[in-house]
């Protein structure tokens, strides 16, 4: 039984997910699309056999042939489509962020807990990356003793023109914010933002930044955020334990000896680095919906990420250590 998916928002990421569902993965099909730009939606629909065009997300959600919804539209619109999906009792995969305000996240929390079952999955794909998973297995397996610290780097070669200073938290470090909650199975208690010397590659932007995250247990995470570092897209992470450390491996398909150097390759961008993680993320989502298995990152995860991001933004503005105030976790999310 094929899972019939409707996709709301068919920009770059939406189109990539359609390609993934229709040409790469097993067990699902795209049967409906829509977009705020209807011409674009029509073009995309024309390229997918059997995909119907809808003029609104709400119409798509209401379509009886749609078993599950994928939301890749502009962040401001996530709330309405997720709420409508919950209302229709349909599973919904929502690209990050879950919503753009704390209040919006809380409305979604409230709707889903009201429905009494999980319908929402948020698109934190790092949890599906083979290297992060292997790292988490090592950390949780005890090889290095209790984890005490984690050093992360999140480096982009460049960022688009619309990237603002807040983006360093809400677009970039938000991946690490979710990742460490999952890595250590605990919440973030406080954040601080440190400001190093400024790169001239970033123009007006303060780049790089360092985000400090203090976990509930006291684990201290530092995240270097460098978004104009030219040389490549470089995601690293090393967990420091009592007796040793464990780090993400560095994968390069080839090693070249040339001109005085032995060189491995760095990924050019996030697509190259995480394409496998996106594939696994969607295959596991499809499999979970088809077989009744467990869903991935939840509304609660999206909400927690929003709360921590807000604290980090406040820390950035104030220059002060800023506690994270998270309400207690509802039962639906393992609270």
| Placement of tokens 């105030």 in the chain | 325
Query: How many residues belong to the site for its own copies (CB under 8 A)?
Result: 74
Please list, in sequence order, all residues whose beta carbon lies within 8 angstroms of the beta carbon of residue 115, skipping any fewer than 6 positions away: 86, 89
Of 79, 112, 224, 301, the one binding its own copies (CB under 8 A) is: 224
Judged on CB neighbours under 10 Å (0-12, 13-18, 19+), 181 is buried
- Under 8 Å between Cβ of 62 and 39: no
Minimum distance of its own copies from residue 263's CB (angstroms): 4
CB 80 to its own copies: min, Å: 31
Q: Report DSSP state, residue 280.
A: H
**240 near its own copies, judged by CB under 8 A:** yes
Backbone angles phi, psi at 100, to 5 degrees: -95, -5
246-285 binders of its own copies (CB under 8 A): 246-266, 268, 283
Closest separation in Å from C-beta 306 to its own copies = 25
Cα distance between residue 169 and residue 306, in whole Å: 10
C-alpha triplet 242, 248, 250: angle, nearest 5°: 135
Instruction: Compute, in degrees rounded to 10, the torsion defined by CA atoms 277, 282, 285, 287.
Output: -100
State the Cα–Cα distance between residues 28 and 287, nearest whole angstrom: 9
**By CB under 8 A, is residue 243 in contact with its own copies?**
yes
Q: Residue 299 Cβ, how far from its own copies at the closest point, in Å?
A: 28
Query: Site residues for its own copies, window 84-143 (CB under 8 A)?
Result: 130-131, 133-135, 138, 143
**Residue 292 binds its own copies (CB under 8 A):** no
Spatial contact of 112 and 118, defined as CB atoms under 8 Å apart: yes
Q: Which of 101, 102, 146, 164 binds its own copies (CB under 8 A)?
A: 146
Instruction: State the nearest-atom distance from the C-beta of 97 to its own copies, in Å.
Output: 28
Compare residues 27 and 330 and give the one whose CB is closer to its own copies.
27
User: Tokens in use for 84?
Assistant: 């409508």
Q: Which is nearer to its own copies, 47 or 244 (CB)?
A: 244
- Torsion of the alpha carbons at 176, 178, 180 and 182, rounded to the nearest 10: -150
* Out of 47, 114, 142, 145, the residue judged to bind its own copies by CB under 8 A: 145
CB 189 within 8 A of CB 149: no
Query: Taking the mean position of all CA atoms in its chain, how far away is CA 90?
Result: 21
Which residues ranging from 302 to 331 are in contact with its own copies (CB under 8 A)? none
From the CB of 257, what's the least distance to its own copies, in Å?
Answer: 5
* Choice from 190, 212, 288, 326 touching its own copies (CB under 8 A): 212
Examine residue 190 and tell whether it contacts its own copies (CB under 8 A): no
User: By CB under 8 A, which span of 35-43, 71-79, 118-126, 236-244 interacts with its own copies?
Assistant: 236-244
Query: According to CB under 8 A, which one of 220, 271, 327, 335 is a site residue for its own copies?
Result: 220
């Amino acid at each position: 039984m094929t899972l019939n998916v409707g996709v709301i928002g068919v920009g770059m990421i939406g189109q990539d997910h359609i390609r993934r569902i229709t040409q790469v993965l097993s067990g699902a099909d795209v049967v409906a699309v829509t977009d705020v730009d209807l011409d674009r939606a029509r073009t995309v629909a024309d390229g997918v056999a059997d995909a119907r065009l809808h003029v609104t997300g709400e119409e798509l959600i209401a379509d009886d042939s749609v078993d599950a919804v994928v939301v890749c539209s502009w962040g401001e619109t996530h709330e309405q489509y997720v709420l409508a999906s919950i209302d229709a009792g349909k599973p919904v995969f929502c690209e990050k962020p879950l919503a753009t305000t704390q209040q919006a996240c809380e409305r979604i929390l409230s709707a889903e807990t009201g429905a009494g079952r999980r319908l929402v999955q948020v698109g934190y794909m790092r949890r599906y990356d083979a290297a992060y998973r292997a790292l988490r297995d090592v950390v949780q397996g005890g090889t290095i003793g209790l984890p005490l610290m984690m050093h992360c780097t999140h480096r982009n070669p460049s960022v688009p023109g619309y990237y603002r200073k807040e983006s360093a938290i809400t677009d970039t470090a938000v991946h690490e914010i979710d990742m460490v909650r999952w890595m250590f199975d605990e919440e973030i208690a406080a954040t601080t933002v440190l400001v190093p010397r400024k790169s001239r590659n970033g123009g007006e932007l303060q780049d790089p930044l360092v985000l400090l995250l203090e976990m509930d247990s006291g684990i201290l995470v530092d995240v270097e955020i460098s978004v104009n570092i030219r040389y490549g897209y470089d995601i690293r992470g090393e967990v420091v334990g009592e007796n040793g450390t464990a780090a993400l491996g560095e994968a390069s398909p080839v090693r070249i000896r040339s001109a005085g150097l032995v060189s491995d390759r760095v990924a050019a961008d996030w697509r190259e680095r995480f394409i496998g993680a996106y594939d696994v993320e969607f295959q596991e989502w499809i499999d979970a919906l088809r077989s009744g298995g467990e869903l991935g990152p939840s509304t609660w995860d999206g909400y927690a990420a929003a709360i921590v991001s807000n604290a980090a933004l406040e820390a950035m503005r104030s220059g002060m250590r800023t506690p994270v105030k998270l309400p207690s976790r509802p039962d639906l999310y393992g609270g």
